[in-house]
Chains A and B, each alone.
Chain A
């Protein structure tokens, strides 16, 4: 009797605490939404499609920030996706056994570096390097393209995209590697038995089989890039302008919150910043759910072979 009493109490207590987590998440959405209401009511959809950012007149348009977030994240994906897939293929398929563990640990260390340290390195290490080496090269040979036009001061969309790509490589590569390892061995053996070379084996059996999982890994990386704040804030230049050139300074949604939140004196200003946070929240939510579903589909698909 006593045991039963203790056990039901135990179950109830843990359930309650687990529900706290759900409650906190709902409270997060509720709190952000109620605080964003003044801005939503006053500006409506104009908020997302105009580019004036004038705290004095209380006229806010978030378009430059949305543009900055999207372009910097896609630039990061452009660099990170091929490299991460290369790492994942190497670690899952090609590397000798004794290299796999240490190498994957080193790649994961890249994820452990705090983003403020990335930012510091970006300001004093990467930006001067890009300015002295990469930018003159790009300007000379590809300068006719609008994306490589104009002056380059070190802080720019270009620098932010590169730093972001380093930060999302560990995410994309470790999830893709997991997805590759979930591919049944019979698939690989079938390809090899048909006389495929090892690259053909990877292309046909591994990449073909895990396509949706890899897409999930990429989207997961995108989710990380969209919300990244500090490193980007430190190297993107923080200027709310939409410019075709990647060498121009820009601004992202997360950085405008980081820079201006404590300076926001009026309620309207604060509310506009919180609305940006709310938009960021829903976008990353959507991105993360899509990614989870895609990855889950592959890692839980066991038919057609024995899982490793």
Chain B
């Protein structure tokens, strides 16, 4: 009888511990949220979005150039990473059922696990050293490398979900495989692929480490793609470790903008697109 009681107590104890762990994790999440919103919201105004940073000692100013810079960097990385990622994914799902496919899949996983700072060094040796200047292009290249594995693997997964019968129906009508893949398979899986792309963008929007010695940062409006470029995360980092209260306030405001951007993208990809996409899973 005693043994039975002990088992019941242990059961109760372990189950409540698991429950506790699950809700304990929400504490840092809520704390970060609370800090960013409460400290950031007071410094957010129109000036913050359209003005340049002010020199030390002058209050006011904003992160307009950093916000634009982040958007430019995202654009630059998307330009090359999305086509490469999607084509790679198409290869893996349509022709990748062989040794070469396994190698590509493995490499994508390896690339996904490479610390982002190491990718920064790679972009530095490939672009900054020969060009002899930090530049927006090198930053876009580094961020693109981080995006590719995510886009590639989600594209592959989504294309595999498209029923074989649909492909066979198209091929039976005498349509080329190229046309079938582009107009039918890719089109059916498009919402899922979009999810992958948005997730990849959400991931790189907040990346700082690979930009430290590629994009470098810039206190002025952007003039060209071969110049150093400002980015929101870089600016937050620079302000956070500075000794000035005014800059700390700006850093919080920047963090609020960044976190809203990132969460919005995760949210859209998870709820809006995933909802519309459900019909594929059930078929």
Contacts and interface: CB of A to CB of B under 8 A. Distances in A.
Contacts of B111: 21, 24-25
Nearest to B237: A116
Interface in A265-302: 273-274, 277, 280-281, 284-285, 287-289, 292
A177 to B, nearest CB: 11
B52 to A, nearest CB: 20
Given A13-B87, A114-B258, A114-B262, A257 B121 contact: yes
Contact of B100 (A15, A24, A82): A15
A117 B122 contact: no
A112 B33 CA distance: 12
Interface string A32-64: 100100000000000000000000000000000
A234 interface: yes
Contact of A22 (B94, B104, B118, B178): B104
B199 to A, nearest CB: 9
Contact of B176 (A6, A107, A120): A6
B281 interface: no
A91 B14 CA distance: 14
B117 interface: yes
Contacts of A21: 84, 88, 104, 107-108, 111, 148-149, 152
Given A87-B25, A94-B18, A262 B115 contact: no
Contacts of B31: 121, 125
Contacts of B7: 197, 200
Chain A interface residue bracket vs B: 35 or more
B74 interface: no
B84 A20 contact: yes
Chain B binding surface, main DSSP class:
helix
Contacts of A107: 22, 25
B178 A10 contact: yes
Contacts of A234: 237, 240-241
Given A18-B87, A95-B22, A105-B270, A200 B11 contact: yes
Contact of A197 (B8, B209, B270): B8
Contact of A28 (B10, B108, B122, B259): B122
Contacts of A277: 117-118, 121
B240 A25 contact: no
Interface in A70-84: 82-84
B251 interface: yes
A85 B100 CA distance: 36
B207 interface: yes
A249 B83 CA distance: 44
A13 B114 CA distance: 27
B251 A169 contact: no
B216 A17 contact: no
Interface string A1-28: 0010011011101110111111011011
Which interface residue of A7, A21, A173 has the most chain B CB atoms within 10 A? A21
A285 B110 CA distance: 7
B1 interface: no
A40 B8 CA distance: 60
21 contacts: A18-B92, A19-B104, A21-B149, A86-B17, A90-B21, A90-B22, A107-B25, A112-B263, A113-B206, A114-B233, A115-B208, A116-B233, A117-B236, A120-B36, A121-B36, A124-B248, A125-B32, A197-B10, A199-B15, A230-B208, A262-B216
